Amino acid sequence: MKVIDIFNPKGGNGKSMVAINLAAASVELGKKAMVVCQDPQGTSILYGKGGNMPFSVVSDIPKSKPDVDVIIFDHPANVWDIPEGNLLVMPFKPPRDQYATFIDAYKKAEAAGKNIVTIVTDTNQHRRDEVELTKAMKKKGAFVLPSSGVYGRAASEYRTIFDPALNKAYKISERRREFLQLATHVLIEVK
């Protein structure tokens, strides 16, 4: 069973969005997935209540080992403890004030010897500094999830982007392809 921690102590940087859609992409790749929502705000738990998920979303760590291939922890904001698992997925948004917190957390995770997959999400294409930072991070191996209204729409309907109800959404196939690439990397390529 693969354990993945979605981590970034800065709030609103795409952790829950990545947790839910990474679980959905894992299911698309034929894996059984589970999301553990560690956030008292319960963003990902709300998705589970929407009833549109092809995986379970729980709020407590299961007592016995669950029958799944991948377990994804959606961590809360403002908690700096480095997660226990070896594999961290760290999403962040490129505005400068967001980036500083991300880098601090990244360095701590790196010092703790974690395997880290970085995701740049929601880059504002009209801001040169954000575009430049995104390019530089991509060069260093980061995944890039472009800014897209699909994520807000999916969230408001408690759906993943793989939900057939979103089949006609703008550029949905690109968004799905990005998540499938991310899932393939995280589930298969990274140990």
Ligand X SMILES: Nc1ncnc2c1ncn2[C@@H]1O[C@H](COP(=O)(O)OP(=O)(O)OP(=O)(O)O)[C@@H](O)[C@H]1O
CB-nearer residue toward Mg ion: 16 or 118: 16
Q: Which of 64, 85, 63 is nearest to 74 (CA)?
A: 85
Pattern 155-184, binding to Mg ion, x per CB under 5 A?
Answer: ------------------------------
Least distance to Mg ion from the beta carbon of 37, Å? 8
- Of the two residues 16 and 101, which places its CB atom closer to Mg ion in the complex? 16
d(CA 67, CA 60): 15
3-state secondary structure of 102: helix
Residue 11 φ/ψ, nearest 5 degrees: -75, 155
Q: Give the Cα separation of 120 and 52 in Å (integer).
A: 26
CB 25 within 8 A of CB 181: no
One character per residue 98-137, x = contact with ligand X (rule: CB under 6 A): -----------------------xx---------------
Contacts of 1 (CB under 8 A, 6+ apart): 65, 66, 68, 69, 70, 71
Structure tokens of 104? 């601090």
Residues 7-46 contacting ligand X, CB under 6 A = 11-17, 39, 43
Residue number of the CB closest to Mg ion reads 16
C-beta of 5: minimal distance to Mg ion in Å?
A: 13
SS3 156: helix
| Cβ-contact 56, 34 below 8 angstroms | yes
Q: Total residues contacting ligand X (rule CB under 6 A)?
A: 20
Q: Which of 68, 148, 163, 178 binds ligand X (CB under 6 A)?
A: 148
129: left (phi over 0), alpha (psi -120 to 50) or beta: alpha
- The H or E element spanning position 25 is helix 15-28
Q: Which of residues 35, 82, 145, 166 is near ligand X by CB under 6 A?
A: 145
Hey, which residues between 7 and 46 contact Mg ion (CB under 5 A)? 15-16, 43
Nearest to Mg ion of 80, 170 (CB atom) = 80
Of 41-80, which residues contact Mg ion (CB under 5 A)? Answer: 43
Which parts of this chain interact with ligand X (CB under 6 A)? 11-17, 39, 43, 76-77, 121-122, 145-148, 151-152, 155
